[in-house]
Amino acid sequence: MSYQALIERLTSLGISFQRDCPIAPHTTFRIGGEADLLCVIESLPELHDTIIACNSHHIPYKIIGGGSNILVSDKGYRGLIIINKAKDWEILEDAEIPELKSTALARHRAEDVVTPLEERQNKVIVRIASGIKIPTLMNQLLKVDISGLELFAGIPATVGGATYMNMHGAKLFFGDLIAQAQLLSNGEVKNVSQEYFQFDYDYSILHETQETVLSCDLVLTQGQSKEAKALAKEWIMKKKNQPQRSAGCLFHNLTNEQQEKLGYPTPSIGYVIDKVLGLKGKTIGGAKISEGHAAFIENTGKATAEDVLKLINEIKKQMLLKTGIVLQSEIEFVGELN
Ligand SMILES: Cc1cc2nc3c(=O)[nH]c(=O)nc-3n(C[C@H](O)[C@H](O)[C@H](O)COP(=O)(O)OP(=O)(O)OC[C@H]3O[C@@H](n4cnc5c(N)ncnc54)[C@H](O)[C@@H]3O)c2cc1C
């Protein structure tokens, strides 16, 4: 693959990039080989122009937000990795507040881990660039007395990745807050409403369309910042056993049907990996099934993607043998398979 034309275009746009650049530091797992090209973009026009340039020169690209739901191949990525750090936001004064739907999950029972704040009527719409990290955004909004993100406290995601995955915190899904979003789709910017995304558990239509989220208009609450801050703190404390050098929960929790059939006291996949499969603490190379939370695999130092994949396969194999269930992974593999 020749990158010359793309390199010339990026240079003329003033977008800096690196060749043969390690991807691992841009992921929470801290795992993965090198990208042929990597650029860190700081604004939405840069994100837009970089993608248009890749498309017109037929160079594959992959956007990474927080890098908190991906496992990057030890062989790296052939193409351009775009690290999205576009982080502006603005309150849309006088914007109409639409009726929003919640991701209806009749087949999954969420556990009551924290009590959400009482629902208030005074809503506000905030347009947010896709590269801002959720904890940063939450703190900046709390400073101007806007709440609504507290159930996502501590999740190292960006707004773009949270939309792509329909990130969930307690019983709230990120998609539940989206009034509209601005997408880059086949070179055109388009406005879409919540319905467009077909949000589900760990799913949005973006998995199929591969469109890019430029920004999202979130419906948040004006006020309650004191209570929201306290709830965020409580929630972070409850999650303190989750290892940060990971990619979050590895697998979907059990469905209601699966839980009832197996007679387990909880749908938590962490419970199953620990108590049913007895795999908590199992280690392959530098990858370990976390002692703190068995639904997470952590990088203990020098884990490779291959180590993680072997552990994932071991969990899947034992699960099938002991329960007959085929587990579905929540994390995405990026790059060439090892
Ligand atoms: C410690 C820890 C705790 C976690 N806790 C939770 C939790 O409570 N709930 C939960 O749901 N998840 C959790 N996760 C997983 C993860 O944070 C979420 O899945 C999150 O939505 C991923 O966002 P990201 O920005 O890191 O996406 P990335 O990992 O960077 O990317 C994931 C996918 O989104 C795509 N993407 C990223 N940005 C864009 C964009 N602008 N437009 C289009 N596509 C884009 C990427 O190309 C990739 O396909 C946790 C992870 C960790 C490490």
* Ligand 1 atom 35, closest CA: 161
228 in the same domain as 129 = yes
pLDDT, position 338? 62
Spatial distance between the Cα atoms of 315 and 334, rounded to a whole number of angstroms: 20
Q: Dump pLDDT digits (tens) for 242-265.
A: 999 999 999 988 988 999 999 999
Interval 282-324: pLDDT, tens: 999 999 999 999 999 999 999 999 999 999 999 999 999 999 9
Q: Which two tokens stand for residue 202?
A: 């760990």
- Contact between 208 and 199 (Cβ < 8 Å): no
Catalytic residue IDs: 249, 330
Protein residue closest via CA to atom 43 of ligand 1: 212
Range of the domain at 58: 4-84
CATH number, residue 78: 3.30.43.10
- Is residue 81 over pLDDT 80? yes
Q: Indicate whether 286 and 226 sit together in one domain.
A: no
- Measured by CA distance, the residue closest to atom 9 of ligand 1 is 168
Structure tokens at 120: 């208030």
Q: What letter represents residue 112's amino acid?
A: D
Same structural domain for residues 271 and 204? no
Count Cβ atoms within 10 A of the Cβ of residue 111 and give its class: 0-12 exposed, 13-18 middle, 19 or more buried: exposed
Does 275 reside within a domain?
A: yes
CA 94 distance to own-chain centroid = 30
Q: Which residue has the higher pLDDT, 328 or 76?
A: 76
Mean pLDDT to the nearest integer, 218-247:
95
* Residue from 117, 105, 109, 104 nearest 150 by CA: 117
Amino acid letter, residue 241: N
Distance (angstroms) between ligand 1 centre and the Cα of 266 equals 25
Q: Whose CA is nearest to atom 13 of ligand 1?
A: 248
Beta bridge partners of 188: 185
295 CA to centre of ligand 1 in angstroms:
16
Best substitution site from 83, 105, 167 to test ligand 1's pocket, by max atoms within 8 Å of Cβ?
Answer: 167
Confidence band of 28 (pLDDT split at 50, 70, 90)? very high
Reported ipTM: 0.99
pLDDT for residue 176: 95
Please state, in angstroms and rounded to a whole number, the distance separating the CA atoms of residues 19 and 35.
7
112 in a domain, yes or no?
A: no
Give the Å distance between the CA of 161 and the centre of ligand 1: 4
**Residue 67 falls inside a structural domain:** yes
Task: Examine the pLDDT at 18 and tell me if it is beyond 70.
Answer: yes
- Which residues, 6 or more positions from 310, have their beta carbon under 8 angstroms from its beta carbon? 284, 285, 287
| Residue 170 forms part of a structural domain | yes
CATH of the domain at 315: 3.90.78.10
| 64 CB within 6 A, ligand 1 | yes
Please count the structural domains in the chain. Answer: 3
Q: What is the pLDDT of residues 93-134, one digit of tens each?
A: 988 998 888 875 655 555 667 888 888 779 999 999 999 999
The predicted structure's pLDDT at residue 160: 98
Do 93 and 210 reside in the same domain of the chain? yes
Does ligand 1 come within 6 angstroms of the Cβ of 130?
yes
Distance from the CA of 336 to the center of ligand 1, in angstroms? 20
Å from CA of 135 to ligand 1 middle: 13
Is any atom of ligand 1 closer than 6 Å to the C-beta of 244? Answer: yes
CA distances from 289 to 36, 45, 268, 293 (A): 31, 41, 15, 8
Phi first, then psi, for residue 115 (nearest 5°) are -95, 120
